């Protein structure tokens, strides 16, 4: 029901019981590391080898990095954030038209993560869009705000180009042919989650998104340059990512961990909320074609007695598993050999 949207209600004075985490699962914001930066990779650098080395480093260690000079225009990023904000501030009856909890829908507005499966709510509303092929999907997108379709599709095109460029660098960093991943991943789907985290009356008791890994191959996140919220697990401690204006945050997702046979890490991350400012982020997910079999290249298996960590599966099988659960376990663990 659309009335469950956080953005349908006015200001919240206290946190409803259904959002309160048990003591042991709370974010403990005081323990978060605030003063470190995640690696920044300048994709405009003429030194391609250095870029590949930096990508390898980041994917092996933190699983997260930021890119600058990435080819997505500032204009496009600003318009995307603008239209996202306008969307979530539409009147409730307008947003209600787009509401659905059915995780198989290619366009839907929902709340929390997966309200059919979870026991505690998350302080988030989100608009989820399938974005490839655009010509087929755009007609089903919201037509309010009036510029939505045009702005979001332009952003999607630019992000897709960046994603493929990153997959090239990642392939090289695994000593594979530059087009290896792009080829093996087939006709890649692209999904988007436009996340809206309203001001929260009690950020210590709840999450925007609890710890999770992303089910796809690679995620590219655009976030509000003025409001922090993304945190990444590093050596057992949560580290806050300081937003860097005009940068995009990239993370290794589950399929890249599987395809690299565990060399690259799909690291747990979460979004916390705050009581002063709402926050918007736009996550773009590159996803393998549904029927693509996920299995690491020969080169990354064998040798040194190292065998495939995960059994082979199709992305469709993985994706079904992902949405059949709450967010608390690492979905890849279900596919261990």
CB 174 within 8 Å of CB 300: yes
Per-position x/- string for 224-263, each x denoting binding to ligand OGA as judged by CB under 6 A, each - no binding: -----xx---------------------------------
Closer CB to ligand OGA, 196 or 264, in the complex: 196
Cα–Cα distance for residue pair 337/334, rounded to 1 Å: 9
Separation in Å, CA 318 to CA 139, 154, 214, 215: 28, 29, 11, 8
Residue nearest to Ni ion (CB): 214
Instruction: Kindly tell me which of 95 and 269 has the beta carbon lying closer to ligand OGA.
Output: 269
Q: Of 99, 164, 107, which Cα lies nearest the Cα of 137?
A: 107
Which is it for the CA torsion 248, 249, 253, 257, positive or negative?
A: positive
190 scored as a contact of ligand OGA (CB under 6 A):
no
Closer residue to ligand OGA (CB): 222 or 292:
222
Return the one option of ligand OGA, Ni ion, none that residue 211 interacts with (CB less than 5 to 8 A, by type).
none
Stretch binding ligand OGA (CB under 6 A), from 30-38, 72-80, 222-230, 293-301 = 222-230
Contacting range for ligand OGA; rule: CB under 6 A; set: 3-11, 90-98, 223-231, 307-315 = 223-231
Q: Is the dihedral of CA 239, 44, 72, 158 positive or negative?
A: negative
Minimum CB distance to ligand OGA smaller for 76 or for 213: 213
- Angle (CA) 225 218 177, round 5°: 130
283 touches ligand OGA by CB under 6 A: yes
Tell me the closest approach of the beta carbon of residue 230 to ligand OGA, in angstroms.
4
Whole-angstrom distance, CA of residue 252 vs CA of residue 57? 12
- If contact means CB under 5 to 8 A according to the sort of partner, which of Ni ion, ligand OGA, none does residue 195 touch? ligand OGA
Return the structure tokens found at 136.
């087929």
Q: Position of tokens 């565990």?
A: 262
Q: Which two tokens stand for residue 99?
A: 């509401």
Q: Could you say which of 51, 59, 193, 200 contacts ligand OGA (CB under 6 A)?
A: 193
Which residue matches tokens 């999607």? 156
Among 185, 209, 273, 294, binds ligand OGA (CB under 6 A): 209
Residues near Ni ion (CB under 5 A)? 214
Of residues 98 and 123, the one with the C-beta less far from ligand OGA: 123
Angle at 72 between CA 194 and CA 266, to 5 degrees: 60
Binding-site member from 281, 294, 318, 335 for ligand OGA (CB under 6 A): 281
Region 42-101 residues binding ligand OGA, contact defined as CB under 6 A: none
Task: State how far the Cα of 91 lies from the Cα of 236, in Å rounded to an integer.
Answer: 42
What single string gives the DSSP state of each residue in 64-78? EEEEES-S--HHHHH
Cα(231)–Cα(238) distance, integer angstroms? 6
User: Residue 271 binds which entry of ligand OGA, Ni ion, none, with Cβ cut-offs from 5 to 8 Å by kind?
Assistant: ligand OGA
Q: Which is nearer to ligand OGA, 76 or 122 (CB)?
A: 122
Handedness of CA 128, 130, 131, 134 (dihedral sign): negative
Q: What's the residue count for the chain?
A: 337
269 is an interface residue for ligand OGA by CB under 6 A: yes
List interacting residues with ligand OGA (CB under 6 A): 193, 195, 209, 214, 221, 223, 229-230, 269, 271, 281, 283
């Amino acid at each position: 029901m659309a009335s469950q949207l956080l953005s349908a209600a006015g200001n919240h004075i206290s946190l409803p019981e259904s959002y309160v985490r048990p003591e042991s699962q709370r974010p403990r914001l005081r323990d978060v590391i605030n003063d470190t930066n995640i690696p920044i990779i300048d994709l405009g650098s003429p030194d391609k080898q250095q870029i590949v080395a930096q990508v390898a480093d980041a994917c092996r260690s933190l699983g997260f990095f930021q890119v600058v000079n990435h080819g997505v225009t500032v204009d496009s990023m600003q318009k995307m954030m603008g239209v996202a904000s306008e969307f979530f501030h539409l009147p409730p009856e307008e947003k209600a038209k787009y509401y659905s909890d059915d995780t198989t829908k290619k366009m839907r507005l929902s709340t929390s993560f997966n309200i059919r499966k979870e026991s505690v709510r998350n302080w988030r509303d989100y608009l989820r869009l399938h974005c490839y092929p655009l010509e087929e999907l755009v007609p089903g997108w919201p037509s309010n705000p009036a510029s939505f379709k045009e702005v979001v599709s332009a952003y999607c095109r630019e992000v897709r180009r960046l994603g493929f460029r990153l997959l090239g660098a990642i392939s090289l960093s695994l000593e594979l042919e530059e087009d290896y991943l792009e080829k093996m991943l087939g006709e890649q789907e692209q999904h988007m989650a436009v996340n809206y985290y309203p001001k929260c009356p009690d950020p210590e008791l709840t999450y925007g998104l609890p710890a999770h890994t992303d089910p796809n191959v690679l995620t590219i996140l655009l976030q509000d340059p003025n409001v922090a919220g993304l945190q990444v697990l590093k050596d057992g401690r949560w580290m806050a990512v300081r937003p860097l204006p005009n940068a995009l945050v990239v993370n290794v997702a589950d399929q890249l961990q599987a395809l690299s046979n565990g060399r690259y890490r799909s690291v747990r991350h979460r979004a916390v909320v705050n009581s002063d400012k709402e926050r918007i982020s736009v996550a773009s997910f590159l996803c393998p074609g549904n029927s693509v079999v996920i299995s690491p290249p020969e080169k990354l298996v064998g040798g040194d007695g190292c065998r495939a960590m995960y059994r082979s599966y199709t992305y469709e099988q993985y994706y079904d598993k992902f949405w059949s659960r709450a967010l608390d376990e690492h979905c890849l663990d279900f596919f261990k050999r």
